[in-house]
Every structure is written in structure tokens, then in C-alpha cells.
């Protein structure tokens, strides 16, 4: 995040004082926190969906996998490459009964303006995934992605979370601001979760769809390694 971005963040999220600041701290610290294997924190947020404003809730996707990813800020540099990449692979995720949601602490108006800017000019263009507006920062905080101190306070790290059809958090990754994500890896992780749910066997290192899995017991482990 460069100095211009930091200044923009400061202007967009000015400091609050007195009771207002205390209320904000209480709001952050009373939200549910994301824990692997536990129910993912619920949310309802305004979003841009197919070029329109719409409220989006986690409960809308009950019975599906959800790939929720945070990005730092609209109109920046690495962020559009990631968002476009996830959007372009959305059909591949849907083939696995998974939906992709993008979120930042920008407003829905900022999201909309960015989608209306052509890609050749740094915009997003038409999106196939919702863009959630976490203006109050409660979602980023509850998932552990919010930067709360320093020059980039108020924006989210590149956090990526996979929630299963029962609503439990199964995968949580955090990248620092300069490092973009590999969308194919998150598709692979959903494939691994689907494989485990369907067959009950565990996925070894470097597993790819269709690869060998392991029965989670001493005998199954020996069988796997005997064929390695």
C-alpha cells in the first residue's frame, strides 16, 4: 500500500473521538470471531450484484460452499487482477456447488463506480460475483482480516475463507497487501473439501482432483505409502 493509498484510506475513514470511538471499538470486539471447524460468522451487507445494489447474507448460500475473499481497496493495483480472476473462474466454482463473494471496506457506491470503469483503464468491468461493502468493518474484523493499526488501518488484508454447505469455516488464509492470490489454488481446495465430503478420505500434500487419497487410519496410511 503506497502513501497515496494510505492517505486515501485516512480520508475515507477519519478518526472518531469520545463516545463514537468507544462505540466503534465495542462493535468490533462484540462480533463473533471466525474459528476453523466452527460456524462461520453470519453477515448481511450491501453489495453490488449484476450492476445493482442488493443486500447479501451468508444465509443466502446455505447448502453451498462459499469462497469469501477480502481485498484492501477499490481503484488500486493488485486488487483488480484478483477480483477479475475470481470472477472469470466463477463458473468453475459453481460447478462444485460453490459461490464466490468479494468484500472490502469501501462503499457500495465505490464498488459500482469501479465496475463501470473499463478494464483497460484499471476498472473491473462486468462482474460475475458480488462485491460486498463492509463499511463498518465488522465483517473483516470478525474474520480476522482487518488491519487495525498503522498507516493501513481500516482496510482488509487479502484474506480468503472457504465455508462449507453446513456453514462451518473450513479454510482460512491471509496474504499481506503486496501479494496476490492464485485462484486455481482455491478451486483446488474446494475440490479437496468436496472429495473428503463425498468419500471420507483425506487429501495428501499436492493433491489434485482425481488423485489418490488416504484412508485416515494406520492401515490406510500404509496402503497409500506402499503405492507411492
Which residues are annotated as catalytic? Answer: 79
| 178 vs 157: CA distance, rounded Å | 10
| 82 vs 211: CA distance, rounded Å | 27
Nearest residue to 132 (alpha-carbon basis) of 148, 122, 121, 145: 145
Q: How far is CA 112 from CA 51, 75, 125, 168, in A?
A: 7, 11, 10, 30
User: Which pairing describes strands 98-104 and 131-133: parallel, antiparallel, or unpaired?
Assistant: parallel
Q: How far is CA 135 from CA 104, 191, 204, 227, in A?
A: 8, 32, 39, 52
| 197 vs 193: CA distance, rounded Å | 6
**What are the DSSP E strand ranges found in 121-185?**
131-133, 158-163, 169-175
Amino acid at each position: 500500500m503506497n502513501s497515496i493509498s494510505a492517505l486515501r484510506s485516512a480520508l475515507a475513514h477519519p478518526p472518531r473521538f469520545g463516545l463514537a470511538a468507544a462505540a466503534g471499538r465495542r462493535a468490533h470486539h462484540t462480533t463473533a470471531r471466525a474459528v476453523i471447524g466452527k460456524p462461520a460468522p453470519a453477515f448481511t451487507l450491501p453489495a453490488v450484484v449484476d450492476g445493482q445494489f442488493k443486500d447479501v447474507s451468508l444465509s443466502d448460500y446455505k447448502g453451498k460452499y462459499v469462497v469469501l475473499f477480502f481485498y484492501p481497496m477499490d481503484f488500486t493495483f493488485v486488487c483488480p487482477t484478483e477480483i477479475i480472476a475470481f470472477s472469470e473462474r466463477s463458473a468453475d466454482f459453481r460447478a462444485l456447488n460453490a459461490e464466490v463473494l468479494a468484500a472490502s471496506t469501501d462503499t457500495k457506491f465505490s464498488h459500482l463506480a469501479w465496475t463501470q470503469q473499463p478494464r483497460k483503464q484499471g476498472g473491473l468491468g462486468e462482474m460475475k460475483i458480488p462485491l460486498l461493502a463492509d463499511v463498518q468493518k465488522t465483517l473483516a474484523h470478525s474474520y480476522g482480516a482487518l488491519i487495525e493499526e498503522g498507516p493501513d488501518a481500516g482496510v482488509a488484508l487479502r484474506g480468503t475463507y472457504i465455508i462449507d454447505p453446513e456453514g462451518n469455516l473450513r479454510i482460512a488464509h491471509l496474504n499481506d497487501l503486496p501479494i496476490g492470490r492464485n485462484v486455481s489454488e482455491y478451486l483446488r481446495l474446494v475440490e479437496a473439501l468436496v472429495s473428503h465430503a463425498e468419500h471420507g478420505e483425506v487429501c495428501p500434500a499436492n493433491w489434485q482432483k482425481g488423485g489418490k487419497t488416504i484412508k485416515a487410519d494406520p492401515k490406510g496410511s500404509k496402503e497409500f505409502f506402499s503405492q507411492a
